[in-house]
Amino acid sequence: MKFHKEGYTSLALVILFIFVINAVANYYDAPTYLKWFLYAISAFLFIVIVQFFRSPIKHIIPNEGVVLCPADGKVVVIEETQETEYFKDKRLQVSIFMSPTNVHVNRNPISGVVNYFKYHPGKFLVAWHPKSSTDNERTTVVVQNQAGVEVLFRQIAGALARRIVWYVKENDQVKQGDEFGFIKFGSRVDLFLPIGTQVDVNIDDKVVGGKTIIARI
């Protein structure tokens, strides 16, 4: 387990806040009950930040025949839908919702070449809202594997998620299981697969990024 680089600023701000409020309380000799209350709040904030930005070390063996889960969370959507941005045809959508308690590292579901990337500014509807896929702040990435199969995956900000981070661009060669981005404080990742793809998960399944097999190509 390690602390993710995207959390350094947040951790520094929390530590500064903890130091200031406790220093003020001690300087003005606050009542003992108030000091202990501030100690409890300080410990809670520190634990929340550390657990949110935790980044488990994973040893992933790429497998061209499968689509790995791009994020930790719960499967909330499995359905055929019209993908209107890139493919402009029917695709099989699988969506993973990440709660604030999940690891928020996003990982490449397949290896290949990034054929398309676009960032979309937008709203911050709750991540399970039907229009979050099209109206919220989001990124869209399309990777084509060696067999010519393209998979589209999309980072979607939620009501709490106010920053999407990505590490890929068009024409990059990416490896299955490597990080392609990070979303802060609650969010969702959508996958768009070819119609007829064998899906190995069900609605409400708990899934692990880089480990759970979502589908087989």
Q: Which residues are known catalytic residues?
A: 187
Alpha-helical (H) ranges within the chain are: 8-27, 32-52, 132-135
SS3 state at 214: strand
Sheet harboring 213-216: ordered strands across?
A: 66-68, 213-216, 198-199
SS3 state at 23: helix
Two tokens, residue 195: 């119609």
In whole angstroms, give the CA distance from residue 68 to residue 60: 10
Q: Which residues contact 204 (CB under 8 A, 6 or more apart)?
A: 74, 75, 76
